[in-house]
């Protein structure tokens, strides 16, 4: 069966060029956003704790201030751009997979996940500035900065948990299951989506052994990158064929 992502697009208005242009831009937005997501992961692990003891410590990778303000700014700004730039890709994949109930719910979960992650990345970007301003006020300011950052860290841990589960588990699961049922995308790509969904759910909810949790997290990161890079590249190919 020919992969749907490689077939020429046919517009209901008889203007496939417009459809192709949109799919190309949607695909490129996904490729750029996937690269930004990879940058956030690399930046976070470069400044995160060396030996996480469980899921809560690993979640700290995605919510705490990293080793230096520069790393923090790179991580936060890349995350903000990632959340925004991914949206066209989500719309493009939604159009290709079809407007079935699982696809609608999968796309909604992905968009809600991005909407939850976006303010969390904004807060992470602001945290060094908050600390610097508070520090100028002396010891009282330092105590206030510690309290503020502690509160923001707790709020962000929840936001990153919810956003990541929606983006790296529930959304891909619904997309992948529908894609396997309909044959809309290559089976290996749909399988990467299933691995993303299962590994994301496992390391968020069940495991407590640090080494195992970190290993499952790496599986989730790699599978999600394969899934989203593959979908984005497919959109570009489909757009060029239109």
pLDDT digits (tens, 9 = 90+) for 10-36: 444 444 567 788 888 989 998 998 888
Q: Which residue has the tokens 């208005």?
A: 13
Domain-located, residue 2? no
Domain-located, residue 180? yes
**23, burial (CB in 10 Å: exposed 0-12, middle 13-18, buried 19+):** buried
User: Is it the case that residue 102 has pLDDT exceeding 60?
Assistant: yes
**146 vs 17, 69, 130, 134, 159, CA distance in Å?**
55, 15, 10, 9, 20
Domain-located, residue 4? no
What would the mean pLDDT of 185-203 be, rounded to a whole number? Answer: 82
Q: Using an 8 Å Cβ cutoff, are 168 and 202 in contact? A: no
| Rounded Cα distance, 57 and 50, in Å | 10
Domain-located, residue 104? yes
| Rounded Cα distance, 103 and 112, in Å | 14
Residue 235 belongs to what domain range? 12-241
Q: Quickly count: other Cβ atoms within 10 Å of residue 211's Cβ.
A: 10
Q: Using an 8 Å Cβ cutoff, are 96 and 30 in contact? A: no
Q: How many percent of the chain have pLDDT more than 90?
A: 2
Q: Using an 8 Å Cβ cutoff, are 144 and 137 in contact? A: yes
The predicted-structure confidence for 89-99, as pLDDT tens digits, reads as follows: 888 888 888 77
Domain-located, residue 223? yes
Answer yes or no: pTM beyond 0.85: no
The 8-class DSSP code of residue 208 comes to -
The 8-class DSSP code of residue 166 comes to I
Summary mean pLDDT of the chain: 74
Q: Quickly count: other Cβ atoms within 10 Å of residue 173's Cβ.
A: 21
Domain-located, residue 85? yes
The domain total for the chain is: 1
Q: ∠ CA(125), CA(164), CA(162), 5° rounding?
A: 95
Q: Using an 8 Å Cβ cutoff, are 228 and 37 in contact? A: yes
Q: Using an 8 Å Cβ cutoff, are 135 and 57 in contact? A: no
Q: Quickly count: other Cβ atoms within 10 Å of residue 15's Cβ.
A: 12
Domain-located, residue 7? no
């Amino acid at each position: 069966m020919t992969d749907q992502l490689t077939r020429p697009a046919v517009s209901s208005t008889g203007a496939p060029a417009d459809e192709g242009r949109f799919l190309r831009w949607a695909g490129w937005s996904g490729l750029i956003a996937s690269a930004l997501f990879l940058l956030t992961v690399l930046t976070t692990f470069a400044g995160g704790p060396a030996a996480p003891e469980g899921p809560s410590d690993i979640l700290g990778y995605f919510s705490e201030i990293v080793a230096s303000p520069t790393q923090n700014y790179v991580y936060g700004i890349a995350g903000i751009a990632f959340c925004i730039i991914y949206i066209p890709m989500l719309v493009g994949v939604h159009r290709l997979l079809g407007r079935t109930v699982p696809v609608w719910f999968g796309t909604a979960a992905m968009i809600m996940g991005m909407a939850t992650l976006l303010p969390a990345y904004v807060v992470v970007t602001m945290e060094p500035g908050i600390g610097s301003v508070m520090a100028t006020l002396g010891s009282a300011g330092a105590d206030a900065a510690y309290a503020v950052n502690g509160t923001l860290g707790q709020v962000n841990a929840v936001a990153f948990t919810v956003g990541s589960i929606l983006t790296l588990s529930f959304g891909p699961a619904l997309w992948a299951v529908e894609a396997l049922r309909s044959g809309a995308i290559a089976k290996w790509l749909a399988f990467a989506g299933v691995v993303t969904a299962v590994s994301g759910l496992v390391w968020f909810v069940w495991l407590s052994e640090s080494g195992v949790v970190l290993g499952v997290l790496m599986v989730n990161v790699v599978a999600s990158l394969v899934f989203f890079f593959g979908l984005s590249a497919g959109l570009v190919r489909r757009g060029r064929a239109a």
